Amino acid sequence: MRDADQLARFEQIVLPHLDDAYNLARWLTRQEQDANDVVQEAFLRAYQFFDSFQGGSSRPWLLSIVRNTCYTWLQRNKAQEPVASFDEEIHSGARTSVSPDAQSLAREERGLLRQAIEQLPPEFREAIVLRELEGLSYKEIAEIAGIPLGTVMSRLARAREQLQHCLSDRLSEES
């Protein structure tokens, strides 16, 4: 049984990254409920193996556990397709006073971007989410994904290229 000091240390070190963990799980699973389940399982695993945490930055350590838990979950649930779309409003930043037309246009643009990101293969989607949404460095992404730095750069370049093509195709369809 773990003592209260260990639990307090875990809460202090790991819990501040709960939102980041959910965000990564949400983008990888594409389902709110599935992301909640994955994050819960990942936090249980993190607590179970907290003794192996060597110190340093806990964010990449936790996100690598979330990532691995997501991929395990995706393998087990391969046949299921997502039925709900990701709600960007949950994760959007502070809102400023803008016209309803501008808000509507921004919402449409976020929706197009969200759909384009969701169409990326999981490894590209993971790289984009970790870099552009979570703001992690290439080195941190390499640690989390367990891949070489060059592979991170390659995945990001390919993901950005696919996003650009997808978004330009959709915009030309609307014209």
Domain contains 20: yes
CATH number at residue 172: 1.10.10.10
Residues 108 and 69 in one domain: no
Task: Say whether pLDDT at 94 is over 60.
Answer: no
Q: Mean pLDDT, the chain, as a whole number?
A: 84
Dist. CA 135–CA 132, nearest whole Å = 5
pLDDT of 89 over the 60 cut: no
Q: What is the pLDDT of residues 143-175, one digit of tens each?
A: 999 999 999 999 999 999 999 998 888 777 776
- Residue 2 in tokens: 């773990």
User: How much is the average pLDDT of 117-144?
Assistant: 93
Residues 69 and 1 in one domain: yes
Look up the pTM and report it: 0.71
Note the pLDDT of residue 175. Answer: 65
**Which whole-number Å values give the CA distances from 64 to 21, 34, 109, in the listed order?**
9, 17, 30
